[in-house]
Amino acid sequence: MLERIRAAVPALPRAEQRVARLLLADPRAFASQPVVELARRAEVSKPTVVRFCRSVGYAGLADLKLKLAGTVNEGVPFVHRSVSDGDTPGELLVKVIDNAVAALLKYRNTAGAQSFARAIDALADAARRGRRIEFYGVGNSGIVAQDAQHKFFRLGVHTAACSDGHVQVMSATMLAEGDCAVVISNSGRSRDLIDTAEIARRKGATLIVISASDSPLMRLAVSANQIALAADHGEDSDRYSPMVSRLLHLVAIDVLATGVALRLGSATLRPMLQDIKRALRARRYVEG
């Protein structure tokens, strides 16, 4: 809702833009204040406040407040708040966590369920047939690839994670039909990963890409009728180390791993996972 209002601001009359900026600056207060107070704070007339509500697609102020209250009650940030040099540790805590929560909720609402279903089908089929599932990523995405390999090998899957460009090319060259190559990238512009994805596709493996929807890597997957799991966010990776993107990619891997585990069935997985837990328990130090 707030992103839609923010996008509409440039097309609004100047007076209504002031109302929009008032809303975006503090949605919680906007939802609780009467029209007289809103008009006073925005330095506009009361009819202008109502016109603004209709301009952005709502029946009136009451309708907009009702929808806004629903957004407020989800407890997520209403305007992206970048950290600044003068932030206290307490402010950093709130901003970083709020930004992560907002990104995750947005991803929940925009992630393509059909694409995830295709990916889970392909991965589960590869697991049942004893085929290879390879995870590729570099930098931060390489860490996500390692996490994915850790989750999938616990399911008894033949899997590996590669973060070195040369090893990725060699690994992709050895893939075949029935295997899966999962390529993870924040920017989707790494030449090594694009080359690896293209090799895996040519070898007949199912290509699953987790990246930004407008990236070259994602366009490769879409054009080749492979599986594209878009993970879009507003993070400026040129200025800050990617944080939100890593969380979105980890969540996507969790969804895939959980889906594959359900497809394989508890009768197959439970004895194996219980054996793993017993073995790990034996490695713990005895307290006391």
Tens-place pLDDT, residues 9-45: 888 899 999 999 999 888 888 888 889 999 999 999 9
Query: Cα separations (Å) of 124 from 54, 61, 117, 128, 171?
Result: 48, 50, 10, 6, 20
Q: Work out the end-to-end distance of the chain between its first and last CA atoms, rounded to an integer number of angstroms.
A: 55
Do both 245 and 117 map to the same domain?
yes
Helix (H) / strand (E) element for 206: namely: strand 206-211
pLDDT for res 80:
44
Q: Among 5-14, 106-115, 206-215, 233-242, where is mean pLDDT lowest?
A: 233-242
Q: Is residue 96 part of a domain?
A: no
In angstroms, the CA 160 to CA 17 distance is: 53
Query: Cα separations (Å) of 215 from 141, 163, 187, 219, 244?
Result: 15, 19, 7, 6, 17
Do both 132 and 57 map to the same domain?
no
Number of structural domains found in the chain: 2
- pLDDT band at residue 76 using 50, 70 and 90 as cut-offs: very low
pLDDT for res 287:
59
Quick check: helix, strand or coil at residue 16? helix
Q: Is residue 82 part of a domain?
A: no
pLDDT tens digit sequence for 137-170: 998 899 999 999 999 998 888 999 999 999 999 9
Q: Is residue 35 part of a domain?
A: yes
Domain with 7 in it: 2-73
Do both 145 and 217 map to the same domain?
yes
For residue 158, what are the β-bridge partners? Answer: 132
Do both 66 and 147 map to the same domain?
no
pLDDT tens digit sequence for 264-279: 887 666 677 777 777 7
Do both 247 and 199 map to the same domain?
yes
Q: Is residue 188 part of a domain?
A: yes
CB atoms within 10 A of CB 287: 4
CB atoms within 10 A of CB 227: 25
Using the 3D structure, point to which of 47, 73, 99 is the last residue of a domain: 73
Quick check: helix, strand or coil at residue 277? helix
In angstroms, the CA 278 to CA 285 distance is: 14
